[in-house]
Structure 1
Amino acid sequence: MIILVKKKIILTGGGSAGHVTPNIALIPKLRELGYEIQYIGTNDGIEKNIIKNEKIKYHAISSGKLRRYLDIKNFTDPFKVLKGVWQAKCIIKKERPNIVFSKGGFVSVPVVIGAYLNKVPVVAHESDITPGLANKLSIPYCTKVCVTFPESLDNIKGKKGVLTGTPIREELFSGKTEEAIRICGFKENKPILLIIGGSLGSKFINDSVRSILTKILKDFNVIHICGKGNLDEKLNNMPGYKQFEYVKEELPHFMKAADIVISRAGANVIFELLALKKPNLLIPLSKKSSRGDQILNAASFEQSGYSVVLEEEELTNELLLEEIKKLYKDRKRYIKTMEESPVQNGVDNIIKLIEKYAK
């Protein structure tokens, strides 16, 4: 008699949607392969709200934010991390998963170390060209580290790096243009400009776009995903303009309808734009407010011919309007270049690694 033992995987990652949505992209395939899926995150992080819709068992642990700058919390948060390691170790010991998959973010560090202490293999994923602080701390405890850019392999020590690409959610390919137009209530048949500032929004992009909004609306309908707390009530009834704090079910429709996109340069969103063949203008976070990873991501995409890039420091109202019009005019060239890209959806490559190293 053959007894089939169901495999179990624990996913982790949080702090921003970019550390959660790639996990979501893996779930359908993992379920198809018969995995029992659980998740470890924080009690108040964005990951909890996203994961609860997936009907997955969720474990909350303590985790301090990891900072590269001086802050009084740098003296207290290490104790939260240590508490999180103990909690994660106990959860993993009790649940006995075959493998842990980590997408990064500060919550992932205690989980990866907790898995290591239980001798459970860990496959991690790094979206950016250079590892973030959380993944830098986690890599010594990982079995393999999936990367998105070929350049990233040089930044992963111990020959642990594997070029897989980034996992793209299948539902993003199921959008309908007419549904986006219905949701937004657009009356005029104009090209659609989609603006995405990241899961937390971008005040810089919001302010830049709104300062020339009346000029943009002469040629485009605008869908603006501006982030929580960033709605401008004065613009609610402006024809051809629709703003949202955050979208989930609507996003595939908005992506499908978009003729061109303005976006930050987080790795997840730019690879989604590449997969969907959407001509895009990237405004990466400056080094003043980040570690510079978005600047490197954007430079790679610009060099490959997938994107137009504007640095925050060089951006003016006139230049932004000029580049929007130019991008739309040249959109077919960008689409053709993206169609010829060798980069593929990373879901299958990552699943193969999970299957290989699951105990």
Structure 2
Amino acid sequence: MRLVVTGGGTGGHVFPALETALCGRDRGWEVQFYGASRGHEVSACEKAGMPLRVFDARPVYKPVSLKGLQSILALLKATSAVLRAFDEDRPQVIFATGGFAAAPVMNAARKRRLPLVIHEQNTVPGRTNLLLGRNAYAVCTAFHGTARHFRGANVQRTGMPVRRALRQSAQGRLSLEHGHGSASPVVLVMGGSQGSSALNDMALSTAVRMAKSEVQWLHVTGTSHFDVTHDSLQRMAVRSDYQVRAYLDSDEMAAALFECSLAWCRSGAGTLAELAAFRKPSLLVPYPHAFGDHQRHNALEFVAMGAAEMVGQGDMNPAQVEARILSWLMDTDRRVAAAKALADWDVPDAVERILSIIEKAAAH
């Protein structure tokens, strides 16, 4: 099997694409990753030892403005470069997870009439998958609510590929390595791959309000927000055991997810899939500027099944957040019910399901 995998620009598209690529390579397939020269996939593929071709891919806009026309011209130029790469790599199937990095690859697949399998991570499809994925052999989804956006397509809910270290740790129940005492509840705060200044600020203010409680905190700020958050922490009356980190690697994140009682976080698809893998309830704060408001729609699916609460970024205040956190921590039955709902939603063999569909596409 000769497979080209594409998707990127941001981590939310890169991680499921890369995990699928790595598992395909484990099967003995010839796998080549195609990405954007300025995307997150460059460092991710280098770290994973995955062969990568890069192209001058840019965000895709509707052709109703100068920016839109420029993006179309850039897409056509990058598509030509991808077609030349196809001549060398001779792929049998293209697997795409969306993002602007995938646009020229998906367009080239259409021109060559190569089988295309896409994975849409969010409830509301991204621009690239929506515009270029309608004629795909199959549309794989993570959320139940995504199918309505691809009416008439071969939609299959495969679940969301989760980073291998996290999935294995979830199944093996990795113990915490951060020094939190298991006797006290732990709230894990994280703002997604980019971090969130609004969430960071509110977390510190809420922790001050809850300083006399037994709640312990592990706060992941995002690399670009760490210094500001750490400086604020030193000036505030926060408990001495309040832990703030810029970033957690896969093993550390697995440990934190296993130990935490509640996550307070954004509602990106990757984050929610990891919470489901570890059966953890959450207080979700959707990123308000996400395309198609997809983080809010992601959150609503978790809220509907009793696995989360949602609060708007502009509606947060320390008293309200404290009340919501305590309502989860003081209700064991509610957390147990949330864990069961998350177990029902989770698809542990998501990557294997996707690879099976790719094999069928190659034989089609």
Give the structure with the larger helix fraction: 2
Is 1:215 aligned to 2:217, yes or no?
A: no
Q: Secondary structure of the residue that 2:224 maps to in structure 1?
A: coil
* Number of the residue aligned with 2:360: 356
In the alignment, which of 271, 279, 282 is matched to residue 281 of structure 2?
A: 279
Stretches of structure 2 that go unaligned for 5 or more consecutive residues are none
* Number of the residue aligned with 1:253: 255
Q: Using the aligned pairs only, state the percent identity.
A: 25
- 8 Å contact 1:112–1:142 — kept in the other structure? no
Shift of 1:93: 2.2
Change (3 A) 1:217 1:13: farther
- 8 Å contact 1:264–1:284 — kept in the other structure? yes
**What's the TM-score, normalizing by structure 1?**
0.88
Change (3 A) 1:233 1:305: closer
In the alignment, which of 14, 17, 40 is matched to residue 11 of structure 2?
A: 17
- For residues 292 and 157 of structure 1, what CA distance do their matches in structure 2 show? 20
Q: Amino acid of the residue matched to residue 315 of structure 1?
A: M
In the alignment, which of 44, 50, 56 is matched to residue 62 of structure 1?
A: 56
* Number of the residue aligned with 2:176: 178
- For residues 248 and 99 of structure 1, what CA distance do their matches in structure 2 show? 32
Shift of 1:189: 5.7
Count of equivalent residues = 348
* Number of the residue aligned with 1:156: 150
In the alignment, which of 48, 70, 79 is matched to residue 73 of structure 2?
A: 79
Change (3 A) 1:27 1:289: closer
- 8 Å contact 1:308–1:327 — kept in the other structure? no
- 8 Å contact 1:11–1:100 — kept in the other structure? yes
Shift of 1:79: 2.2
Q: Amino acid of the residue matched to residue 210 of structure 1?
A: L
Greater shift, 154-163 or 106-115, is seen at 154-163
Q: Secondary structure of the residue that 2:176 maps to in structure 1?
A: helix
Q: Amino acid of the residue matched to residue 223 of structure 1?
A: L
Equivalence map 1:1-359=2 (5 Å): 7-67=1-61, 73-172=67-166, 173-174=168-169, 176-181=174-179, 190-218=184-212, 219-231=214-226, 232-235=229-232, 239-249=240-250, 250-286=252-288, 290-340=291-341, 341-343=343-345, 344-345=347-348, 346-359=350-363
Partner deviation per Cα, 1:11-54 (whole Å, 9 max, x = no partner): 11112211011123324532332112211111121111112111
- For residues 28 and 320 of structure 1, what CA distance do their matches in structure 2 show? 40
- 8 Å contact 1:39–1:58 — kept in the other structure? yes
- 8 Å contact 1:41–1:59 — kept in the other structure? yes
Change (3 A) 1:236 1:319: closer
Change (3 A) 1:178 1:289: closer
Change (3 A) 1:299 1:69: farther
Shift of 1:75: 4.3
- For residues 62 and 290 of structure 2, what CA distance do their matches in structure 1 show? 11
Partner deviation per Cα, 1:305-353 (whole Å, 9 max, x = no partner): 1111112233222101111111222254233343254332322221210
- 8 Å contact 1:102–1:125 — kept in the other structure? yes
Change (3 A) 1:285 1:350: same
- 8 Å contact 1:305–1:337 — kept in the other structure? yes
What is the root-mean-square deviation of aligned Cα atoms in Å? 2.4
Shift of 1:72: 6.0
- 8 Å contact 1:65–1:106 — kept in the other structure? yes
Shift of 1:195: 1.2
- For residues 68 and 258 of structure 1, what CA distance do their matches in structure 2 show? 42
Q: Amino acid of the residue matched to residue 91 of structure 2?
A: P
* Number of the residue aligned with 1:4: none
